[in-house]
């Protein structure tokens, strides 16, 4: 089974090569047959990659330590779920997952692209195939998960304990679905450049892919942030760590792409810019893959001693980014520019959005790459962290968020800023009220917190205003309004939800950062501490045994005024013998939208323990906001017009006949 997986992977590589060359040549010389090769090879290639991935998963499930990759990252005593997730909890396996998702998206285009013009479809799949060729070659030559080990050891070295967690089991696939989803947008852009023309339905085709990728990337980032929050025991939700930035940059660019694709679809404007943005977004995804997978971040040392992987990905990076940008430079001038619009209009607002988002992505890019570049050039080492991003990223986000509610209220082509502002008066008043309440009525309210709270309310009510106005609030009778409201296109709901989700996340951040409490103290058994008006009692530490770890579990009880226990929090320190590695499992109790968070420090001989106790008000809203954004994206995706993508031939044929007769 293992070797069949290996063989299937090699076969998938050969097919990807065909998928790249034959349709490309076919589209060039106008051969239908050669162009028709693209779809079946893409689908077969996906099936083979899936078979290969399944084979690796079976090896993990059965603890087949004759596979080096399994031996290095699994243990026979691990719970089955972590044996399975271990498949992608390592470099080789995760690269295979990356390629699997790439092939999956290609197969989707092949299967559902019947209404695409033949040459566009052939070119898209060829470009998609070429990415597959590069990464399959990377896997086969430098990171082969099917390398064997004979004689096979009887026990594996265990999966890195901090990866033995459900959050991290789901996080990489989601993140990759996001990263790699943008490859479709990239392929469409490059195909349009190769063709030298942008199909009328191009934006309609690209938008749903952008949306799908964006939804998953949003989910992946939110999940990763939540994982870091509870697993690392530091209680922070975002660290501006290069690995996090690597996923955040494509998100920023992707969000910009999502918006500019709307302009292109509705108004045929910003064509060239959208094309460029699609290329840049996927380039940032590739860059993210490079940063995380080459080892350049974790250790220059490791990168220097085993450069084959890093250099290989770097070559892939240069080829695709350089190639596509060169193609863009050559061909962009031959593409026809689109419609015109006034600066004050929906298009204008979306351009502004793009300007802010891409600039923000650029600052994150500089903050991430500058330390690496500086070290490579001068050898001096700096760290760029939160203070830098607060100073650069923050000022960019504030005006953007202030402007968000205006966008949907402006008309296409020529908008009326004054009318939009009038409609938003109610939302503005409420936001001001929220800011004042935060500043004067809540303990510890600062000007910044007040501003944040006001901004959050502004975003949420601004989204609500948009819905209300579109359903005719105030101008028509209530029943009509209700009917109109229900009849609104889903994409309008999607926009409102996604914008409101931003506000929800912002509330969570404001609450956590400004109104939280932190206590670090040494607690003896039965000692109590007051945290945010609640009493926490430490009941002592018990040793426990898990399947592949031992842990010291500390029991904390929440007690009320009468001394009755109202809740239990367990926080523990684990030790995984196979890796000789300790981890901290924070104890978290969710109360409403807020959380009580306890991390353990050192234990002393008399049974007392250093505990770090946080009260994090409204913290769950940070991730719930992400969820709301995802739901918004999904609702928008469900919009019939997007789902169909481009006109179906079956449907439009009779219509054409009818109009002719």
Partner 1 sequence: MTRKQKRLSVIVAGLSFLALAAGLTFYALGQKASYFYMPGDLSAANLAPGQRIRLGGLVEKGTIVRGQGTTVSFAVTDTHNAIKVTYTGILPDLFREEQGVITEGSFGSDGVFVADSVLAKHDERYMPKEVADGLKAKGVWQETQVK
Partner 2 sequence: MLFWVIAAVLTLGASLAVLLPLAGGARGEHSQNAHDLEVYRDQLGELDRDLERGLIQPAEAEQARAEIGRRIIRLGSNETAAQAAGSGSKAVRLLSVFAVLAVPLLSWGIYARLGSPDLPSQPLAERLAKNPADSSVDELVARAEAHLVKNPTDGRGWDVLAPIYLRIGRFGDAVTAYRNAIRLEGVSAARQTGLGEAIVNGAGGVVSAEAQEAFEAAIKLDPNDPKANFYLALAFSQEGRKPEALATLQKMQATLPADSPWRKAVEQALTSVGGNPAPSASGPSQEEATAASSLSDEQRSAMIETMVASLDEKLKQNPRDTEGWMRLIRSYVVLGKTDEARAALRRGIAVFGADSPEAKQFVAFAGTLGLAATE
- Residue ranges in 585-624 that form contacts with partner 1 under rule CB under 8 A: 599-602, 610, 612
* Interface residue with partner 1, options 11, 14, 327, 362 (CB under 8 A): 362
Cβ pair 541, 601 in contact under 8 A: no
Q: Which two tokens stand for residue 206?
A: 């690209």
- Rounded Cα distance between 554 and 557, Å, is 10
Q: Which does 151 bind (CB under 5 to 8 A by kind): partner 2, partner 1, none?
A: partner 2
Helix (H, G, I), strand (E, B) or coil at 539: strand
Q: Which does 417 bind (CB under 5 to 8 A by kind): partner 2, partner 1, none?
A: none
From residue 359, how far is each of 294, 439, 528 by CA, in Å? 26, 31, 49
The one segment of 91-99, 267-275, 311-319, 378-386 that binds partner 1 by CB under 8 A: 378-386
Burial 214-247 (b: 16+ CB within 10 A, else e): bbbbbbbbbbbbbbbbbbebbbebbbbebbbbbb
- Rounded Cα distance between 153 and 541, Å, is 36
Q: Which does 6 bind (CB under 5 to 8 A by kind): partner 2, partner 1, none?
A: partner 2
According to CB under 8 A, which residues from 154 to 183 bind partner 1? 160, 162
* Interface residue with partner 1, options 232, 426, 439, 631 (CB under 8 A): 232
Give 120 or 180: the residue with its C-beta nearer to partner 2: 120
- Rounded Cα distance between 457 and 504, Å, is 8
Q: Which does 194 bind (CB under 5 to 8 A by kind): partner 1, partner 2, none?
A: none
According to CB under 8 A, which residues from 577 to 636 bind partner 2? 580
- Rounded Cα distance between 531 and 148, Å, is 54
- Rounded Cα distance between 360 and 356, Å, is 6
**Least distance from partner 1 to the Cβ atom of residue 384, Å:** 5
The one segment of 322-330, 408-416, 441-449, 550-558 that binds partner 2 by CB under 8 A: 408-416
Strand partners, 584: 573
The one segment of 279-287, 392-400, 479-487, 498-506 that binds partner 1 by CB under 8 A: 392-400
**Residues 282-321: x/- map of binding to partner 1 (CB under 8 A)?**
----------------xxxx---x----------------
**Residues 359-398: x/- map of binding to partner 2 (CB under 8 A)?**
----------------------------------------
Residue 578 CB neighbour total at 10 angstroms: 18
**By the rule CB under 8 A, 577 interacts with partner 1:** no
- Rounded Cα distance between 387 and 389, Å, is 6
Q: Which does 370 bind (CB under 5 to 8 A by kind): partner 2, partner 1, none?
A: partner 1
* End-to-end Cα, the chain, rounded Å: 61
**By the rule CB under 8 A, 380 interacts with partner 1:** yes
Q: What is the DSSP letter of 602?
A: E
Q: Which two tokens stand for residue 286?
A: 């590739």
Residue closest to 212 by CA, chosen among 249, 244, 174: 174
The one segment of 30-38, 239-247, 279-287, 368-376 that binds partner 2 by CB under 8 A: 30-38
Residues 6+ apart with CB under 8 A from 355: none
Q: Which residues of this chain interact with partner 1, rule CB under 8 A?
A: 160, 162, 232-233, 298-301, 305, 340, 343, 355, 359, 362-363, 366-367, 370-371, 380-385, 387-388, 390-392, 395-396, 520-522, 573, 579-584, 599-602, 610, 612
């Amino acid at each position: 089974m293992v070797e069949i997986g290996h063989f299937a992977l090699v076969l998938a590589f050969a097919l990807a090569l065909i998928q790249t060359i034959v349709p490309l040549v076919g589209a060039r010389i106008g051969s239908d047959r050669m162009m028709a090769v693209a779809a079946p090879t893409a689908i077969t290639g996906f099936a083979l990659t899936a078979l290969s991935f399944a084979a690796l998963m079976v090896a993990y499930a059965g603890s087949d330590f004759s596979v080096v990759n399994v031996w290095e990252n699994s243990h026979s005593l691990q719970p089955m779920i972590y044996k399975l997730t271990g498949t992608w909890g390592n470099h080789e396996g995760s690269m295979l997952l990356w390629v699997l998702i790439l092939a999956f998206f290609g197969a989707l285009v092949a299967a559902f692209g019947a209404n695409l013009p033949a040459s566009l479809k052939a070119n898209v799949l060829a470009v998609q195939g070429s990415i597959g060729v590069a990464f399959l070659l990377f896997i086969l030559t430098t990171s082969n998960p099917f390398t064997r080990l004979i004689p096979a050891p009887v026990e594996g070295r265990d999966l890195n304990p901090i990866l033995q967690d459900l959050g991290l089991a789901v996080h990489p696939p989601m993140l990759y679905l996001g990263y790699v989803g943008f490859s479709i947008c990239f392929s469409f852009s490059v195909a349009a450049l190769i063709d030298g023309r942008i199909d009328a339905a191009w934006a309609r085709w690209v938008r749903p892919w952008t949306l799908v990728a964006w939804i998953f990337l949003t989910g992946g980032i939110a999940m990763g942030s939540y994982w870091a929050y509870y697993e690392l025991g530091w209680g922070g939700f975002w660290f501006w760590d290069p690995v996090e930035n690597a996923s955040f940059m494509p998100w920023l660019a992707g969000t910009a792409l999502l918006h500019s694709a709307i302009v292109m679809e509705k108004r045929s404007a910003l064509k060239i810019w959208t094309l460029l943005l699609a290329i840049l977004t996927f380039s940032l995804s590739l860059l993210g893959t490079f940063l995380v997978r080459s080892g350049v971040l974790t250790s220059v040392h490791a990168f220097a001693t085993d450069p084959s992987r890093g250099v290989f990905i770097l070559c892939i990076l240069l080829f695709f980014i350089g190639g596509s940008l060169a193609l863009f430079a050559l061909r962009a001038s031959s593409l026809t520019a689109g419609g015109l619009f006034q600066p004050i209009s929906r298009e204008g607002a979306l351009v502004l959005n793009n300007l802010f988002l891409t600039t923000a992505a650029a600052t994150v890019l500089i903050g991430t790459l500058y330390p690496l570049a500086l070290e490579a050039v001068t050898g001096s080492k700096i760290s760029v962290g939160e203070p830098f991003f607060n100073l650069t990223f923050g000022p960019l986000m504030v005006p953007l968020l202030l402007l968000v509610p205006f966008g949907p209220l402006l008309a296409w082509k020529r908008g009326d800023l004054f009318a939009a502002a009038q409609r938003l008066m109610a939302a503005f008043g409420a936001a001001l009220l929220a800011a004042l309440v935060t500043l004067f009525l809540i303990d510890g309210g600062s000007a910044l917190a007040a501003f944040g709270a006001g901004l959050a309310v502004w975003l949420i009510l601004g989204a609500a205003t948009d819905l209300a106005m579109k359903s005719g609030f105030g101008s028509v009778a209530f029943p009509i309004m209700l009917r109109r409201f229900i009849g609104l296109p889903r994409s309008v709901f999607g926009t409102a939800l996604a914008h409101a989700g931003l506000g929800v996340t912002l509330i969570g951040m404001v609450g956590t950062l400004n109104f939280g409490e932190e206590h670090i103290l040494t607690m003896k058994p039965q000692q109590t501490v007051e945290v945010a008006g609640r009493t926490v009692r430490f009941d002592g530490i018990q040793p426990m045994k898990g399947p592949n770890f031992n842990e010291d579990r500390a029991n904390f009880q929440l007690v009320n005024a009468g001394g009755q226990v109202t809740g239990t929090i367990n926080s523990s320190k684990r030790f995984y013998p196979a890796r000789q590695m300790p981890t901290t499992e924070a104890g978290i109790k969710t109360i409403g939208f807020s959380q009580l968070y306890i991390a353990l420090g050192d234990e002393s001989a008399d049974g007392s323990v250093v505990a770090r106790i946080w009260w994090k008000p409204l913290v769950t809203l940070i991730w719930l906001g992400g969820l709301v954004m995802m739901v918004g994206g999904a609702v928008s995706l469900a919009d019939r017009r997007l789902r169909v993508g481009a006109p179906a031939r079956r449907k439009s044929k009779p219509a054409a006949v009818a109009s002719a007769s």
